Amino acid sequence: MAGRRGALIVLEGVDRAGKSTQSRKLVDALCAAGHRAELLRFPERSTEIGKLLASYLEKKSEDYFETVSVKLSSCRRSTRTCPVPTSRPLIKEKLSQGITLVVDRYAFSGVAFTSAKENFSLDWCKQPDTGLPKPDLVVFLELQLAEAAARGGFGLERYESGAFQQRALQRFQQLMGDVTLPWKTVDASRSIEDVHGEIRALSEDTIQAAAQKPLGELWT
Ligand code: NYM
Ligand code: MG
């Protein structure tokens, strides 16, 4: 139907919960089912800003944090949609063109991981992302931290310590207490296919519903 907007679908969760795998599978499945769907991820490490961030996350630079969180947020806000590669139109523009966006991390990761550091309050961390396009669905991939830690590659990057992940998880839980946001918790300990099936069903419903209502603003 002409004029239907796309849905903004966000996947969140602690590190190694399967967000990237599930985001890619979801886009493929939605496209195969005839939807127009595209993948975005924050941070996108291949861009210039993304490379700076990656060097911080990969512990190759130490002095970068003050700007990292602000830059990440401004990337989500930027008219150039940096750090997504190439100068794609805005999230809003894509949605208004009827394209559903599946986003691998969004403002919630920004707030959870920054506020898990000392001296950064949740409210302070929310401010730079306030007013961004509000997701129509936020899937939280729930996984025990011990299970996440046992998955491949865990422990190599900054933030990948049990204590830090625990604090980030607590922050995610605080954010999930906001009932004005469309959080759906999905058990990520199951097989990739089972998790995918549930996310896909939620997404199909969300795409139908989003077409009938205006896009909101986050945390306003
Ligand atoms: N991260 C992610 C932040 O610290 N701030 C943000 O705004 C975002 C989007 O970067 N540990 C953190 C969370 C993760 C890391 O990991 C990105 P990955 O595997 O590229 O999603
Ligand atoms: Mg990932």
Residues with CB under 5 A from ligand 2 (ion): 20
Do the domain assignments include residue 97?
A: yes
Q: Is the CB of 106 under 6 A from ligand 1?
A: no
Compare 88 and 153 and report the one with higher pLDDT: 153
Q: Which residue has the tokens 């046992």?
A: 150
Instruction: Give the ligand whose atoms come closest to the C-alpha of residue 21.
Output: 2
pLDDT at 63: 57
Which stretch of DSSP H or E encloses residue 123?
helix 122-126
Mean pLDDT of 174-191: 98
Do the domain assignments include residue 189?
A: yes
- Number of other residues whose CB lies within 10 A of the CB of residue 9: 27
pLDDT at 70: 65
Do the domain assignments include residue 125?
A: yes
Mean pLDDT of 118-137: 88
pLDDT at 36: 98
204: domain CATH number is: 3.40.50.300
In the predicted model, is pLDDT for residue 32 greater than 50? Answer: yes
- Atom number in ligand 1 closest to CA 114: 4
Do the domain assignments include residue 74?
A: yes
Number of domains in the chain: 1
Mutate to test the pocket of ligand 1, among 53, 105, 111, 129 (most ligand atoms within 8 A of CB): 105
Mean pLDDT for the chain overall: 87
Do the domain assignments include residue 118?
A: yes
Do the domain assignments include residue 219?
A: no
In the predicted model, is pLDDT for residue 9 greater than 70? Answer: yes
pLDDT at 129: 82
Q: CA-CA distance, 131 to 160, in Å (whole number)? A: 29
Do the domain assignments include residue 69?
A: yes
Q: Are 43 and 75 in contact (CB under 8 A)?
A: yes
**Residue 62 C-alpha to ligand 1 middle, in angstroms?**
16
Mutate to test the pocket of ligand 1, among 23, 103, 113, 161 (most ligand atoms within 8 A of CB): 113
Q: Which residue has the tokens 């097989």?
A: 191
Structural domain span for residue 43:
6-213
Residue ID of nearest Cα to ligand 1 atom 5:
110
pLDDT at 82: 42
Q: Write out pLDDT tens, residues 56-87.
A: 888 887 655 656 666 666 666 654 444 433 33
Do the domain assignments include residue 171?
A: yes
In the predicted model, is pLDDT for residue 155 greater than 80? Answer: no
Number of H helices, E strands in the chain: 9, 5
**Residue 50 C-alpha to ligand 2 middle, in angstroms?**
14
Q: Are 47 and 176 in contact (CB under 8 A)?
A: no
Q: Is the CB of 140 under 6 A from ligand 1?
A: no
